[in-house]
Chains A and B, each alone.
Chain A
Amino acid sequence: ETVMTQSPATLSVSPGERATLSCRASQSVSSKLAWYQQRPGQAPRLLIYGASTRATGIPARFSGSGSGTEFTLTISSLQSEDFAIYYCQQYNDWPPTFGGGTKVEIK
């Protein structure tokens, strides 16, 4: 099973600033990496798949990069609705596995 590790666990950012979240895989997952956003009390929402492709309706301030074992989600200018927990997920092998999440909180 591929283990996904996210860092940092918590990221404190001021509105309007840039946020950079990291995700590392225990073995190569190629570009089969997705990012999800989960707001309190809500189900996750797909942001990015294929490491860098934004899902339908996702604002351009969200971008993903990386391949192999190292991935990054960047939020270029944080809006109030972006304060949430973000999960990465690999889908290169079965079972798909998620990282432990990064909580983006207001500084």
Chain B
Amino acid sequence: QVQLQESGPGLVKPSETLSLTCTVSGDSISYYYWSWIRQPAGKGLEWIGRIYVSGSTNYNPSLKSRVTMSLDTSRNQFSLKLRSVTAADTAVYYCARENGDYVVDSWGQGTLVTVSS
């Protein structure tokens, strides 16, 4: 059974870069698509983007100018970088596995990232 675990700083200063890593166990990231989704407190879900082993990415147009995703097959990890953050980027960030058709079948537990000075 696949397991996903997010890691990274829980506090980021405004205008800096948010960096998160997702470690995948129980499956190889050489298969499937891998995504980041976020959820501000008390609000709904927003898809940030996804990456495939080929390096192909799809980013949400609302965040595209600030997002970079990458993956490391040797460590079975994939990562998110979100630049120039503001308080509006404060959220629980989930890493997820999706089936290639944008259906998420496995989620990490989520990590809260707060943007504050």
Seen from chain A, the residues whose Cβ lies within 8 Å of a Cβ on chain B are 1, 32, 34, 36, 42-46, 49, 55, 87, 89, 91, 94-101
User: If the complex has contacts A43-B94, A43-B110, are A97 and B105 also in contact, measured as CB distance less than 8 A?
Assistant: no
Smallest CB separation, B30 vs chain A (Å): 22
SS class, residues of chain B in contact with chain A: loop
- Contact string, B7-47, partner A, CB cutoff 8 A, digits 1/0? 00000000000000000000000000000000000011111
Closest residue to A92 on the B side, CB-wise? B102
Q: Are B104 and A46 in contact (CB under 8 A)?
A: yes
A36 to B110, CA, bound (A): 15
Cα–Cα distance between A94 and B64 once the two chains are bound (Å) = 12
| Interface pair B103/A98, CB less than 8 Å apart | no
Q: Within B66-117, which residues are at the interface with A (CB < 8 Å)?
A: 94, 101-105, 107-110
Chain B residues, Cβ within 8 Å of A45: 107
Asked if A98 meets B105 with Cβ closer than 8 Å, knowing A43-B94, A43-B110, the reply is no
A43: chain B residues within 8 A (beta carbon): 94, 107-110
Judging by beta carbons under 8 Å apart, are B107 and A100 in contact? no
Whether A44 lies near B107 (C-beta < 8 A) is yes
**Inter-chain contact A87/B110, CB cutoff 8 Å:** no
Q: Which residue of A lies closest to B108 (CB)?
A: A43
Closest Cβ–Cβ distance, residue A25 to chain B (whole Å): 14
CB neighbours (8 Å) of B94 from chain A are 43-44
Closest residue on chain A to residue B64 by CB atoms: A95
A85's nearest neighbour on chain B, judged by CB, is B44
**Whose C-beta in chain A lies nearest to the C-beta of B107?**
A43
Q: How far is the CA of A45 from the CA of B61 in the complex (A)?
A: 25
Q: Is the CB of A49 within 8 A of B103?
A: yes
Taking A100-B44, A101-B44 as contacts, is the C-beta distance between A94 and B58 under 8 angstroms? yes
A-chain residues with CB within 8 Å of residue B105 when the two chains form the complex? 46, 55
Tell me the bound Cα distance from A101 to B43 in angstroms.
9
From the candidates A49, A87, A91, A94, name the one contacting B45 in the complex (CB within 8 A).
Answer: A87
Distance in Å: Cβ of B50 to nearest Cβ of chain A? 9
